[in-house]
């Protein structure tokens, strides 16, 4: 259902990052990436529309699965995540929608974290939570050498993540249509 919401949106393709989007959802007591469903090949864009490469499968995501698994350590109810392109306008929209927004700076990442495969996400989640003293609805970073800036929207389930993301996409597209 969540994929249908995204792929039927006329605006979602406007907020897909260069690394493409993945939408994930973890089982209630998820322990590892095999407990997290994601879209193999991610969600991309074609002809101005969002297109899912395949139907969701458990174990299909590594990066976004780590994000959800680490958020669940702080709030077990936030079991879904979707990544969006970084744009300060999108962050403003998130704040206006009442979402709790936090960030981490990849340039401040300790060497031992950088050198550990998969270490950035747990560190980044902990930093973002510490920064606002609460579990955010949105975590972003502005990139680093060779790393694309990303916004990650968190939600209790994939349908809510998709609905919120498509709402953000609609508002974002309307802003840019009015500028042109």
Report how many domains make up the chain: 1
pLDDT digits (tens, 9 = 90+) for 38-87: 999 999 999 999 999 899 999 999 999 999 999 999 999 999 999 999 99
Q: Is the pLDDT of residue 180 over 60?
A: no
**60 Ramachandran zone, left/alpha/beta (phi>0; psi -120 to 50):** alpha
Q: How many CB atoms lie within 10 A of CB 45?
A: 15
Angle of helix 120-132 versus helix 63-74 axis, rounded to 10: 40
Phi, psi of 10 (to 5 degrees): -80, -10
Token pair of 158 as six digits: 């994939």
- Largest Cα separation within the chain, whole Å, is 47
Give residue for tokens 């469903």: 37
**Under 8 Å between Cβ of 30 and 53:** no
Q: Which domain holds residue 149?
A: 2-179
**Secondary structure (3-state) at 86:** coil
Q: What is the CATH number of the domain that holds 47?
A: 3.40.225.10
Query: Full-prediction pTM beyond 0.85?
Result: yes
Tens digit of each residue's pLDDT (9 = 90 or more) over 118-168: 888 999 999 999 999 999 999 999 988 888 999 999 999 999 999 999 999
């Amino acid at each position: 259902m969540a994929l249908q919401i995204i792929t039927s949106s006329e605006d979602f393709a406007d907020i897909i990052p260069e690394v493409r989007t993945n939408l994930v959802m973890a089982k209630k007591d998820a322990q590892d990436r095999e407990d997290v469903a994601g879209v193999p090949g991610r969600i991309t864009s074609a002809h101005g529309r969002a297109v899912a490469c395949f139907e969701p499968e458990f174990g299909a995501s590594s990066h976004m699965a780590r994000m959800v698994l680490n958020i669940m350590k702080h709030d077990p109810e936030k079991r879904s995540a979707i990544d969006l392109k970084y744009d300060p306008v999108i962050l403003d929209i998130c704040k206006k929608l009442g979402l709790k927004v936090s960030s981490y700076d990849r340039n401040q990442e300790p060497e031992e974290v950088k050198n550990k495969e998969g270490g950035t996400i747990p560190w980044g989640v902990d930093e973002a939570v510490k920064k606002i003293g609460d579990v955010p609805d949105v975590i972003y970073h502005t990139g680093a050498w060779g790393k694309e800036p990303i916004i990650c929207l968190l939600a209790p389930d994939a349908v809510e993540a998709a609905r919120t993301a498509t709402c953000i996409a609609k508002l974002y597209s309307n802003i840019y249509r009015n500028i042109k």
